[in-house]
Amino acid sequence: MITLGIEGTAHTLGIGVVDSRYEVLADIREIYEPVRGIHPREASQFMSENIKKVLDAALTKADVCMGEVGLVSFSQGPGMGPCLRTIATAARALSLHYGIPILGVNHCIAHIEVGKILCGLKDPLTLYVSGGNTQILKLKEGYYRIFGETLDIGVGNMLDKFGRETDLKHPAGPKIEKLARKGARYIELPYVVKGTDLSFSGLLTSALQKTKDNPIEDVCFSLQETAFAMLTEVTERALAHLAAKEVLLTGGVGNNMRLQEMLGVMAEDHDALFDVPRGYCSDNGVMIALLGLLMHNSGIRSDISQTYVKQRFRTDTVEIKW
Ligand code: ATP
Ligand code: FE2
């Protein structure tokens, strides 16, 4: 069965097409570039203006027509209301017009499942790091339990805010990574870990202050070293506590090579496998299609009346039946 997945929770409009063997047939993404922070209404307008183009490109790439699609899945939340409503409307229209079953999926769980499928992991401890989210999760008794999370902003959001104040274009994560490679001197910054929870707002304020009298490269280097050491410490604490044998890194910040390196070394110390879904850490439609297919294959069905969007859709409220 061909599954089409639509992502559009914030900045990325993505449509993925997968087949019944979970193979990727198409992965088309269009990214909204905000001038100063993501404006929900503008981002949703970007989605409605681009959806036809992205859909046509995905179908062409996958070499399928809508008549061959057996399931339409879409990001039901969490995310920005106007964006979520735009893609949900598109998914409903396709479902009704072509008579195709529809499933709304949790965006955060999609980030985890794409990692498990592409990396071939069975029961990983997951570090999910993106703009809006920073969580350490593991499947336990039918739910992804959150063992630790940020107490304020997501680590990606922290990097993007740092970039906004220092004139790095959005998203700042990749630019900070590049600048950090040229940094050599570590500048002391606040390191805030509470058990398996973390906080990034003090780190952000302090790093911004340090840019006044230090080279930006050194500040970026120190910002990454501090934030990623915090993430590695909490992941290690959860790993030791849960005796996990696999560590999965996912979400947009998972693209960062330095973070991958630090977690890889830590996992090796504990004889645990470490992996990251390279190319699929950032928001994409493929992960939405894959989760839709997993849910469908485990017997989950939904009706149009159940496709209302959930702006604050918590990861630990979804029963994992697959
Ligand atoms: P979510 O709804 O899951 O929070 P999101 O809308 O934040 O998703 P993602 O694509 O998962 O979207 O993550 C985007 C974040 O990833 C941005 O904050 C961006 O700066 C960050 N990012 C992307 N590439 C890198 C990188 N190489 N290093 C660090 N951060 C990165
Ligand atoms: Fe995301």
Separation in Å, CA 156 to CA 136, 147, 200:
15, 19, 10
Looking at residue 140, its pLDDT comes to 96
Q: Which of 13, 144, 255, 310 to mutate to test the pocket of ligand 1 (most atoms within 8 A of CB)?
A: 255
Residue 51 contacts by C-beta under 8 Å, 6 or more apart in sequence? 6, 13, 86, 87, 90
Pocket lining: 277 vs ligand 1, CB cutoff 6 Å: no
Distance 282 CA to ligand 2 centre (A): 6
Looking at residue 36, its pLDDT comes to 75
Distance 29 CA to ligand 1 centre (A): 14
Pocket lining: 75 vs ligand 1, CB cutoff 6 Å: no
CA distance from start to end of the chain: 17
Pocket lining: 293 vs ligand 1, CB cutoff 6 Å: no
Pocket lining: 9 vs ligand 1, CB cutoff 6 Å: yes
Distance 283 CA to ligand 2 centre (A): 5
Looking at residue 287, its pLDDT comes to 98
CATH number of 2-111+281-317: 3.30.420.40
Ligand at shortest distance from the CA of 249: 1
Residue 81 contacts by C-beta under 8 Å, 6 or more apart in sequence? 40, 309, 311
CATH number of 123-275: 3.30.420.40
Pocket lining: 260 vs ligand 1, CB cutoff 6 Å: no
Separation in Å, CA 40 to CA 7, 9, 104, 222:
15, 10, 20, 32
Q: Which of 253, 257, 281, 286 to mutate to test the pocket of ligand 1 (most atoms within 8 A of CB)?
A: 253
Pocket lining: 132 vs ligand 1, CB cutoff 6 Å: yes
Ligand at shortest distance from the CA of 282: 1
Supply the DSSP string of 167-185, one letter for each residue.
TPPSS-HHHHHHHHHT---
Ligand at shortest distance from the CA of 174: 1
pLDDT in tens, the chain (322 residues): 999 999 999 999 999 999 999 999 999 999 999 877 789 999 999 999 999 999 999 999 999 999 999 999 999 999 999 999 999 999 999 999 999 999 999 999 999 999 999 999 999 999 999 999 999 999 999 999 999 999 999 999 999 999 999 999 889 999 999 999 999 999 999 999 999 999 999 999 999 999 999 999 999 999 999 999 999 999 999 999 999 999 999 999 999 999 999 999 999 999 999 999 999 999 999 999 999 999 999 999 999 999 999 999 999 999 999 9
Ligand at shortest distance from the CA of 32: 1
Dist CA 287 CA 105 (whole Å): 10
**Spans of all domains in the chain:** 2-111+281-317, 123-275
Looking at residue 37, its pLDDT comes to 78
Looking at residue 217, its pLDDT comes to 98
Nearest CA to ligand 1 atom 20: 173
Helix axis angle, 216-242 relative to 257-269, nearest 10°? 30
Residue from 111, 249, 258 nearest 174 by CA = 258
Looking at residue 61, its pLDDT comes to 98
Pocket lining: 131 vs ligand 1, CB cutoff 6 Å: yes
Instruction: Check if 2-111+281-317 and 123-275 are the same fold.
Output: yes
Nearest CA to ligand 1 atom 9: 252
Looking at residue 38, its pLDDT comes to 85
